[in-house]
Structure 1
Amino acid sequence: MPSMEQNGPRNTTQTRKQKPVLKLCNQPRCAADAISRREILKKQRESLPIASVKERLVQEVKNHDVLIIVGETGSGKTTQLPQFLFNAGFCPNGKVIGITQPRRVAAVTVAKRVAEECGVELGLKVGYSIRFDDKTSSSTRIKYMTDGLLLREALLDPYLSRYSVIIVDEAHERTVHTDVLLGLLKNVQRARLKSVIDHAVVNNKKASNGITKENEKGAECTNFLKQCQRKFPPLKLIIMSASLDARLFSEYFGGARAVHVEGRQHHVDIFYTLHAETDYVDAALITIFQIHLEEGPGDILVFLTGQEEIEGVERLVQEQLQKLPEESRKLLTAPIFSSLPSEQQMRVFMPAPAGHRKVILATNIAETSVTIPGVKYVIDPGFIKARSYDPVKGMESLIIIPTSKAQALQRSGRAGREGPGKCFRLYPESEFEKLEDSTKPEIKRCNLSNVILQLKALGVDDIIGFDFLEKPSRAAIQKSLEELFLLGALTDDCKLSDPVGHQMARLPLDPIYSKALILASQFNCLEEMLIAVSMLSVESIFYNPREKSEEAKTAKKCFASPDGDHLTLINVYRAAGELLQKRRMELGIEKNEKNIKGKNEKILRKWCRENFINSRSLRHACDIHSQIRGHVEQMGLPISSCGDDTLQFRRCLAASFFLNAALKQPEGTYRALASGQVVQIHPTSVLHQSKVECVIFDELVQTSQKYIRNTTRIDYLWLTELAPHYYAMQG
């Protein structure tokens, strides 16, 4: 492999003049343009590698109930296979082809692309469904969704009877929801097949009722699913992976058939550094400009670890461009990460104007989940941000770790999609050999409480005996069961409690948030808790740009509550609501609803900008609030407000978050009461320097230090009063 120079020519300077991000061109289309676009899409589809094996794949699906498809990046499997199956008649009697994705971004972007290819409006024949956002209808036949959403659908429809085919895409990513979903689908498929066999047996009178019942008792296939009273058509199950090793999935499904679909991969030159880089962000910035100034045409894809890094590099690129000659400034930035609004995510797929180059700043979402055209150069610093949960300490660590070899290969492959490319790995070749072969499955490094609650709701009594693809640790399962018991979701014999456990399972939230909402109806503060939970469920509401740090802190003080972060978030939400209500009154004579909505959004964005509030997160919180409010109304919980009596709200927080309480120590630190960990209040908290006696917190995270985030002050004595079952036991 060729090697890069250790540092290379530094085409960067340190001027800090901000320039607005250049917008990508998006020319309006006339009717002729639309026809031309359809022709382009048709040619693109026909040129995909998967198009040449269309008939074979359709036949394989007809012949096998379970099929493993290993499709290399760029094969077209995600967009084309569902269309092949739809056209081949796999949606009889209004049945649906469901395709799961690990990430929201992929579900949305792929659905939009497929709808465009089919020439239909999104939400009709082709749609998507993710948490708090649904673009489907009764006519939807190809449905993209997150794996977590399909798990929730199973709560209402245990046999997933609407689906004729379910495709689990990106299975190699091994998210916790994907792993659990595979176990669920294995049971659903067997149960549906058994319903067909049992009905045939009864109809043909080939067995007595007694024998049938004995078969049902001992049948492994029904496992946790109740006996079918109806006949369901067999379910076709397709597992798609970009990893070349399908053996694990094949063995899990009893030696299922595996087929390989060639990708469209051109030669990619791999470059390594001679020595390890001390600052990979700086090295990435240098490499961006080396490529821009020295290499031929083609877009650049840079892998970074998260939103903060992406926004930082984006700003530095803009600053650096100001120091270059005018003719060398034709470089556009396009970020993509999971919490970015979909309309902004679309910018990465738009071609740059003639003579310009695009640099895409992405998290690992761009490894396999979405395909970005035009990329010829990949910069891979070799790191990823990963969450790891310690069940003993009850603490989640958010740490930056090296990628696996499989991830590195996926990243480099992105440079060879449309022609020969280059990948610049910002580490020595010797370090590549030391990388793990694959990423550790999420189920082995996360809090399982939410997943276990859903499994219990599905009727899985024996969690440890559940047929996981790879079993999580017994300690992690036991810790989560203990937490759910303490929250009142489980009975003494580990069954779902009635009504609390069933109510918690119905809400698409972390169990502790669900319990907070249920209790809030008793504390007469459900209106406030709905807002708090919605705001806690999104990315950070406040942003603090380095160059305007003091201004941002001053703006935050306008909303700050001396009682803590939860009430501060409520203040922000209500201030935004009052602003929009005032505008609605002013625009009362405006008859065009679309105009009113557009004006409101513009005013809200301006208000957010002035107050250093993340408008995207605030809008998302509003959407979540609307959906969760609908859930609690359906459950019959009375929605009332505590008004100015914030004491009731804080007491409700203590009753709900009692496992997340921390007490001030003599030296000024805090001790998390459940785990005994010595922690600090996070610097972003309004209570950071207040040194209150006792707080509850939203999460305990280890980054550079052990921090508790989103805190509210409580009275220490409330804990024994409101959670005696835990604190009396703790002594």
Structure 2
Amino acid sequence: MPSMVESQQPNGNISFKHNRNNNNKPNFFAGRQKILEHRKSLPIASVERRLVEVVQENDVLIIVGETGSGKTTQIPQYLFDSGFCHDGKTIGVTQPRRVAAVTVAKRVAEECGVELGQKVGYSIRFEDVTSSSTRIKYMTDGLLLREALLDPYLSRYSVIVVDEAHERTVHTDVLLGLLKRVQNVRSNHIKNQTSVGHKRASNGAILEKENADPCIGVLKQCQGRNLSPLKLIIMSASLDAHVFSKYFGGAKAVRVLGRQFPVDVFYTVNPQTDYLDSAIVTIFQIHSEEAPGDILVFLTGQEEIESVEKQIHENLQRLPEDKRNMKTVTIFSSLPSEQQMRVFAPAPAGFRKVILATNIAETSVTIPGIKYVVDPGVVKARSYDPVKGMESLIIVPTSKAQAIQRSGRAGREGPGKCFRLYPESEFEKLEDSTKPEIKRCNLSNVILQLKALGVDDIFGFDFIEKPSRTAIKKSLEELLLLGALTDEFKLSDPVGRQMARLPLDPVHSKALILASQFKCLDEMLIAVAMLSVESIFYEPREKLDEARTAKKCFASSEGDHLTLINVYRTSIELLEKRKSEVGKDKAEKVMRKWCKENFINSRSLRHARDIHSQIRRLVEQIGLCISSCGDDTLQFRRCLAAAFFLNAALKQPDGTYRALASGEVVQIHPTSVLFRTKADCIIFNEFVKTTNKYIRNITIIDGLWLTELAPHYYAKQE
């Protein structure tokens, strides 16, 4: 870039120095009339026949497909065309993120010339667009894990493709272990059937062969099932094939080349003290000095994204009218799927699109038109301390692998530029790759699912990379305390089985089950839905007093859970009233205006409504009784204490709180309605470690309830 004056202010410039890197990408979203030519032009098309042959020859295949090779969209179609869906079988393709499952399914349906949900479909949490005729199914890895609860042998699938395996999410790692187990069971079942098939009793019944096979109990359950061998394809965008190959007993690995487009990499001359301000400065530098092309900006979460978006709009208003040709769009995991799709729409003619994204945009999705990437070099990552039993989301530096993936977004359609908001010397200090999520998160949800799948020996489960024994032990203890497991650490019935059927954190699942008994399930459904999304309230710095005043209209003196319920019920009442008056579309517009006036995140609220309706159907299916406690909030708070007893805290003489389970000294987060209230005993939903140790989403309880409602955990003297 041209020489610039160093500045930390949004209206200044940042000095960058130039480096060079190579990346790639064709356009997956060309017009329908060019689809055939586009498919033929993909690098993977030249090896279609050989790839199919290799899949036929190997039960497990590792494919390292460079960015832009076409592996995600094309391989399932090649397999379908080669007869892998005979006898009504399905090809399943997993993705770590729901937005990828949705967008790729839509693209493949378009390429096949079929309606989405017929031959090609997708399933993500709370949304299923498939039918009995679906033969190519894209889904999140977590969704396939839940599907295994109903069909432990995944008998409908002939091939399962695990895409983006290099991301090493906790669900991906567990899924690989499960698939290895399922594949062995199905292979042994075929062998068993073959070896005894010729032996018939006089009445024609098959004589069962007794042997010492450790899977014999499972094989007996397989009798009568139409099970065929299961093919596994593990796809990765990075060169770590040896990890997966070794895990699957020396499985064959192949590499598919992609097209290479150069990406010029720029580093800042000096460290940046505020990466958000630096990102905004860089966006406007690119807009004023660089050729047309969209900008992708990586940020750590919804709050940062919305803050930067607002500042961009304010800065645009200060520019001459002919320089305001910039359109912002956002993408993050909690954003409803239909709103995530907006990033794929082209910018209006003459406008530059600025995509503000979390690391969801690193590898999982292909957004057309990107020519510039702004990378602050940080990411929000889970961190779990199994000794203290406390989990937090903290902002940490990216790995080198992440930085390379991010810069590659600029080279998917042609030459591009990446602006890293840190000096080159800092890049050299980064870790080579990201630590697998399974080694840095609470395993309670994963272990509950494994128990539901019949995996009793968690310590002996064949993880691709084993989590620590301490982490496993802590999660087992937590599930035991929640009543999901028996004293023998078996899945309890009915509580454990009911919890396993709900796609929620175990403590939230238990809260719903208890709420049915406390006759406040209506309230708990709302609370859990609202806790499942990010940032219902937002407090812009420039309108902080107005935002806090608006929040007081909904605030409950008893805490945040009831405050969230007040917001939800007020919004639903307004929405239903307006629907009857002006219709659904206009009612939604009124709702957005109401949210803006009350400093409520309309996207999060809408997402909470969707989750609420889905969870409500699920709790009805498992037989829970839905009733309301009405104005008797005491019952609701007692239910919270019974469910969240592990997250209780007592006030200390200095005004801080001590979390009873961990002994940690914590403070109430400033966003809580109880921030300046000093109740003697509270329960919280979340521990957040930033500059201080904070607890969030808090409700006041009576400390005596803990010994009454959780006597198995709290001694009388406490």
TM exceeding 0.5:
yes
Tell me whether 1:44 sits opposite 2:38 in the alignment. yes
Q: Which residue of 2 aligns with 1:490?
A: 485
Deviation readout 1:387-429 (Å, 9 max, x if unpaired)? 1011112222222111111111111222222222222222222
1:156 to 150, 157, 173: 150
Q: Which amino acid aligns with 1:291?
A: I
| Contact preservation (8 Å) 1:519, 1:652 | yes
Q: 1:343 aligned to 327, 338, 358, which one? A: 338
The yes-or-no answer on 1:472 pairing with 2:467 is yes
Spell out the pairing of 1:577-726 with structure 2 (5 A cutoff): 577-586=572-581, 596-726=583-713
One-letter amino acid matched to 1:520: A
CA contact (8 A) 1:4 1:273 kept: no
2-side partners of 1:116 and 1:698: how far apart? 43
Counterpart residue type for residue 385 of structure 1: K
Q: Secondary structure at the match of 2:222?
A: coil
Q: Name structure 2 gaps, 5 residues minimum.
A: 13-29
Question: Structure 2 CA distance, aligned partners of 1:730 and 1:631?
Answer: 39
Task: Report the Cα offset of residue 209 of structure 1.
Answer: 9.3
Q: Is the 8 A contact 1:196 1:231 kept in 2?
A: no
Cα separation, partners in 2 of 1:270 and 1:103, compared to 1, 3 Å: same
Q: Cα offset for 1:281?
A: 2.2
1:626 is displaced (CA, Å) by 1.7
Q: CA deviation at 1:320?
A: 2.8
Secondary structure at the counterpart of residue 711 of structure 1: strand
Q: Aligned to 1:724, what secondary structure does the other structure show?
A: coil
Deviations, residues 273-301 of structure 1 (Å, cap 9, x unaligned): 23322222222222222222222232222
Q: Distance in 2 between matches of 1:715 and 1:117?
A: 60
Does structure 1 residue 456 correspond to structure 2 residue 443? no
The one-letter amino acid of 1:157's match is D
Q: Which residue of 2 aligns with 1:30?
A: none
Size of the aligned set, in residue pairs, is 698
Tell me which moved more, 478-487 or 192-201: 192-201
Map of 1:10-89 to 2, 5 A cutoff? Answer: 12-13=10-11, 37-89=31-83
Check 1:411–1:5 CA distance in 2 against 1; reply closer, same or farther (3 A cut).
farther
C-alpha spacing 1:205/1:730, structure 2 compared with 1 (3 Å): farther
Letter in 1 for 2:131: S
Secondary structure of 2:211's match?
Answer: helix
Q: Residues 539-576 of structure 1: CA distance to partner in whole angstroms, max 9, x if unpaired? A: 22222222322222222212111111111111122112
Relative distance call for 1:580 and 1:285 in structure 2 (3 A) is: closer
What residue identity is the alignment partner of 1:718? Answer: W
Correspondence for 2:501: 506
Shift of 1:703: 1.4
- Structure 2 distance, partners of 1:357, 1:517, is 46
Give, as a single letter, the amino acid of the residue that structure 1 aligns with 2:385: D
Partner of 1:269, secondary structure, is strand
Contact conserved, 1:107 with 1:144, CA < 8 A, in 2? yes
Distance change (3 Å), C-alpha of 1:569 and 1:324: closer
Paired residue secondary structure (2:319): coil
Conserved in 2, the CA contact under 8 Å of 1:70 and 1:244? Answer: yes
How far apart, in 1, do the equivalents of 2:82 and 2:231 lie? 14
Aligned counterparts of 2:51 and 2:686: Cα–Cα separation in 1:
46
Q: Is the 8 A contact 2:336 2:607 kept in 1?
A: no
Report the CA distance shift for 1:730/1:128 in structure 2 as closer, same or farther (over 3 A): farther
Cα pair 1:540 1:614 within 8 Å, conserved: yes
Partner of 1:19: none
Kindly indicate whether the alpha-carbon contact (under 8 Å) linking 1:535 and 1:618 is maintained by their aligned counterparts in 2.
Answer: yes
What is the rounded CA distance, in whole Å, between the counterparts of 1:329 and 1:571 in structure 2?
39
Report the Cα distance in structure 2 between the residues aligned to 1:434 and 1:210, rounded to whole angstroms: 64
Cα-to-partner distance string for 1:244-278 (whole Å, 9 max, x where unaligned)? 12000001011111111111221222222233222
Are the counterparts in 2 of residues 196 and 234 from structure 1 also a CA contact under 8 Å? Answer: yes
Q: 1:426 to 1:578 in 2, by over 3 A?
A: closer
Preserved contact between residue 8 and residue 274 of structure 2 (Cα < 8 Å): no
Contact 1:100-1:145 at 8 Å conserved across structures: yes
CA–CA separation in structure 2 for the residues paired with 1:61 and 1:450:
33
Query: Given that residues 158 and 225 in structure 1 are in contact (C-alpha distance below 8 angstroms), is that contact kept between their aligned partners in structure 2?
Result: no
In the other structure, the counterpart of 2:327 is: 332
Once the two structures are overlaid, the 10-residue window that deviates more, 517-526 or 200-209, is 200-209
Cα deviation, 1:41-66, whole Å, max 9, x if unaligned, reads 33322222112222221222111111
One-letter code aligned to 2:504: L
Distance 1:355 1:237, change over 3 A: same
| Structure 1 residue corresponding to 2:365, chosen from 361, 370, 375 | 370
212 and 74 in structure 1: CA distance in 2 versus 1, 3 angstrom threshold = same
Q: 1:245 to 1:358 in 2, by over 3 A?
A: same
Distance in 2 between residues matched to 1:726 and 1:4, nearest whole Å: 65
Structure 1 residue 211: Cα displacement: 9.0
Specify the SS of the correspondent of 1:197. Answer: helix
> Secondary structure of the equivalent of 1:563?
coil
Match for 2:625: what amino acid? P
Q: 2:77 corresponds to which letter in structure 1?
A: Q
* Alignment-derived partner of residue 435 in structure 2: 440
- 83-92 or 352-361, larger mean C-alpha shift: 352-361
CA contact (8 A) 2:118 2:130 kept: yes
Q: Deviations over 1:80-108 (max 9, x none)?
A: 21122122221112221111111111111
Query: Is residue 265–residue 418 contact of structure 1 (8 Å, CA) maintained in 2?
Result: no
Q: In structure 2, how many angstroms separate the alpha carbons of the residues matched to 1:187 and 1:453? A: 17
- CA distance in 1: counterparts of 2:323 and 2:610, whole angstroms: 42
Distance across 1 between alignment mates of 2:193 and 2:717? 55
Over residues 499-547 of structure 1, what are the superposed CA-to-partner deviations in whole Å (9 max), with x where a residue is unaligned?
A: 2111111111111111111111111111111111111111222222223
1:414 match: 409
Superposed, 1:105-184 pairs within 5 Å as 105-184=99-178
Taking only aligned residues, the RMSD between alpha carbons, in angstroms, comes to 2.4
Which residue does 2:96 correspond to in 1? Answer: 102
Distance in 1 (alpha carbons) for counterparts of 2:207 and 2:456: 26
| Contact 2:518–2:635 (8 Å) recurs in 1 | yes
Cα distance in 2 for partners of 1:51, 1:86 equals 15
- In 2, Cα distance between the equivalents of 1:576 and 1:353? 33
1:157-212 Cα deviation digits (max 9, x unpaired): 00011111111111000000000000000011111111111111111349999993
Corresponding position: 1:427 with 2:422: yes
Checking the alignment, whether the CA contact within 8 Å between 1:524 and 1:640 is kept in structure 2 is yes
- Check 1:498–1:83 CA distance in 2 against 1; reply closer, same or farther (3 A cut): same
Look up the match of 2:20: none
Distance across 2 between alignment mates of 1:619 and 1:315: 20
For the 8 Å contact 1:99–1:166, the answer to whether it is kept is yes
Give 2:352's aligned amino acid: R
List gaps (5 residues or longer) in structure 1. 15-35, 588-595
Q: For 1:628-663, what per-residue CA distance to the aligned partner results, in whole angstroms no more than 9, with x for missing partners?
A: 222222222222211111111111111111111011
SS of residue matched to 1:512? helix
Please give the per-residue CA displacement for 1:464-523, whole angstroms capped at 9, x wherever unaligned.
Answer: 110000000111000000101111111111111122111111111111111111111111
Percent identity between the two aligned chains: 76
Mean Cα deviation higher: 558-567 or 452-461:
558-567
Partner in structure 2 of residue 32 of structure 1:
none
Which residue number corresponds to residue 24 of structure 1?
Answer: none
Query: Is 1:265–1:413's contact at 8 Å kept on the other side of the alignment?
Result: no
SS in 1 for 2:270: coil
- Deviation at 1:369? 0.4
Instruction: Tell me the amino acid that sits aligned with residue 210 of structure 2.
Output: K
2 CA distance for matches of 1:539 and 1:314?
Answer: 16
Q: Which residue, 360, 369, 382 being the options, matches 2:377?
A: 382
1:25 counterpart residue number: none
CA contact (8 A) 2:295 2:370 kept: yes
Corresponding residue number in structure 2 for 1:593: none
Q: AA paired with 1:111?
A: A
Distance of aligned partners of 1:287 and 1:206 in 2 relative to their CA distance in 1, 3 Å threshold: farther
Q: Give the letter aligned to residue 405 of structure 1.
A: K
Answer whether contact 1:650 1:713 (CA < 8 A) is retained.
Answer: yes
Is 1:520–2:515 an aligned residue pair?
yes
